[in-house]
Structure 1
Amino acid sequence: MAEHSDEIETTNDSLVEKITEKIHRDDSSSSSDSKSEKKTKCDDDDDVKKHHDAPSASSLKSKSNRLFGREKPVHQVFGGGKPADVFLWRNKKISASVLVGATALWVLFELLEYHLVTLVCHILILVLAVLFLWSSVSKIINKSPPSIPEVRIPEDTLLQFISALRIEINHFLQMLRDIASGRDLKKFLAVVAGLWLLSVVGSWCNFLTLFYMSFVVLHTIPVLYEKYEDEVDAFAEKAMMELKKQYAVFDDKVVSKIPRGPLKGKKKD
């Protein structure tokens, strides 16, 4: 009888040990699973964060391949205001009206050989005559005369315009000084080529036609570039690479062989 009770106790002890061992095993496996899940989740979060923080290679490539290294949109390059809206045809009615008005002025002055002073005087005569007759007739028939607004140029606006113009002129003069001082050969060659091309175009037409052509170009080229931006940038990148190759050959065969004067020695204290 005692032996039988001892066997039952031994069996119960072994069962308790097995159950305890199984519970510990399950706890350890669950803890390891949870740790692995947390680690995987953290790794995923880090990958997502790195993906969001680091700029993509395509975006960096697209920025580097923009025309003239441009990083801003075309609208911001033109100032981002109403002139940019007109040049980029944000409002087609206004842009078309401005272009038609410029074309009409060019036809009057260039094709019909109308003079600016004559046109301004005739317009003023017509406007003053209409307003004078309207005011005189309104007094006779007892009707309200035309309300003529008082037009004044604000002092702040005029000063801002003059200040902006002064900054641009100073920038242009500084650029000419840098080019004349021989600091940048590429810029010197680019400016000389641009001035030569402008002189050739100026020999074909007068200043008014040249101004009108520039106005038309500003109303057509930017909007077309904005529409076909990727294709133009790809073509411009290839053209710039070819120009760099040609300049390297020119520098190796011509510029490097130009004799230079002896360098001045350092002044002794």
Structure 2
Amino acid sequence: MSERSEDSPSGVDSITEKITEKLHHHDSSSSSSSDSDNEKSSPSAVKSSPSAVKSSIYRLFGRQKPVHKVLGGGTPANIFLWRNKKISAGVLGGATILWVLFELIEYHLLTLICHCLIFTLGILFLWSNASTLINKSPPRIPEVRIPQDIVRDTAINLGYDINQGLAALREIASGRDLRKFLAVIAGLWVLSIVGSWCNFLTLFYIVFVLLHTVPVLYEKYEDQVDSFAEKAMAEFKKQWAVFDAKVLSKIPRGPLKAKKVV
């Protein structure tokens, strides 16, 4: 009896020691996990996200969207960026054929349309009569229609772009940004000189070819072009500051007349 009474305190002590060890182990594990969480959540341990890195990179014209989104993100953007090489090559080849016909061969639009219709109708008429002579069913001429959705979407997009251009011209003419005004004037002057060198069709074809070449090349060499543009923009700002200090700041401006209060 006495031995049991002596052994019982030691058994209780061993149980309490095990409980305290478990509690201590749980506290240490929880503290280590909290430390690791704090380390993960600390600003020094967190790496900069790719979006933050991309936002710090200089982009041409202050662009923040990809080139595909800047061009509209639809079928025209896919054609200009050669997402489908067959379609893009077909569109560019068709534009080249039209330019050769109208500019080099000096075809007229009405003459070309009439000749195409004469050729198409003649082929279909002869094919239908030849099939009846050899006891075959005449060919089924497909019904060609332009979908209304395409026409409506094209008109909406064209109207939106025209309104955006008119709004931009109104903003430039308001006189709030002298730098933008001078840039637009210089661009229009260069465009007028280029227009005097060639007619509208050739100019339109040149712009069409540039739309099929410049965006895809820029998308391929985006980082190199943006790096060069950043250096060029810094040099332009430096020269503009000198021009502003020596020329624009010395232009006399009359005092603003105060409005009469009725």
Looking at structure 2, the residues matched to 107 and 162 of structure 1 have their Cα atoms a distance apart, in angstroms, of 28
Q: How does 1:75-224 map to 2 (within 5 A)?
A: 75-224=68-217
- Give per-residue Cα distances to partners, 1:39-61, cap 9 Å, x unaligned: 3133134249x838966652331
1:240 is the counterpart of 2:245: no
Letter in 2 for 1:42: D
Count matched residues: 258
Letter in 2 for 1:206: N
1:252 is the counterpart of 2:257: no
Where do 5+ consecutive residues of structure 1 fail to align?
1-11
Letter in 2 for 1:261: G
Structure 1 vs Structure 2 CA RMSD = 3.3
% identity of equivalent residues: 60
Which residue number corresponds to residue 60 of structure 2? 67
> Which 10-residue stretch deviates more, 28-37 or 183-192?
28-37
Q: 1:39 aligns with which of 19, 34, 40?
A: 34
- Give per-residue Cα distances to partners, 1:216-261, cap 9 Å, x unaligned: 1111111111111100011111111111122222222222222222
Letter in 1 for 2:31: S
Looking at structure 1, the residues matched to 153 and 19 of structure 2 have their Cα atoms a distance apart, in angstroms, of 81
1:264 is the counterpart of 2:257: yes
Larger radius of gyration: 1
> Which 10-residue stretch deviates more, 125-134 or 151-160?
151-160
Q: TM-score under structure 2 normalisation?
A: 0.82
Alpha-carbon distance change, 24 to 203 in structure 1, aligned in 2, over 3 angstroms: same
Looking at structure 2, the residues matched to 34 and 167 of structure 1 have their Cα atoms a distance apart, in angstroms, of 62
Shift of 1:129: 0.8
Shift of 1:35: 4.5
Work out whether residues 195 and 203 of structure 2, in 8 Å CA contact, stay in contact via their aligned partners in 1.
yes
Letter in 1 for 2:257: K
Where do 5+ consecutive residues of structure 2 fail to align?
1-6
> Which 10-residue stretch deviates more, 19-28 or 150-159?
19-28
Shift of 1:153: 3.6
> Which 10-residue stretch deviates more, 53-62 or 232-241?
53-62
Q: TM-score under structure 1 normalisation?
A: 0.81
Looking at structure 2, the residues matched to 73 and 225 of structure 1 have their Cα atoms a distance apart, in angstroms, of 11
Shift of 1:87: 1.1
- Give per-residue Cα distances to partners, 1:16-75, cap 9 Å, x unaligned: 9x9899779857854653343133133134249x8389666523312xx11111111111
Work out whether residues 55 and 64 of structure 2, in 8 Å CA contact, stay in contact via their aligned partners in 1.
no
Shift of 1:116: 2.3
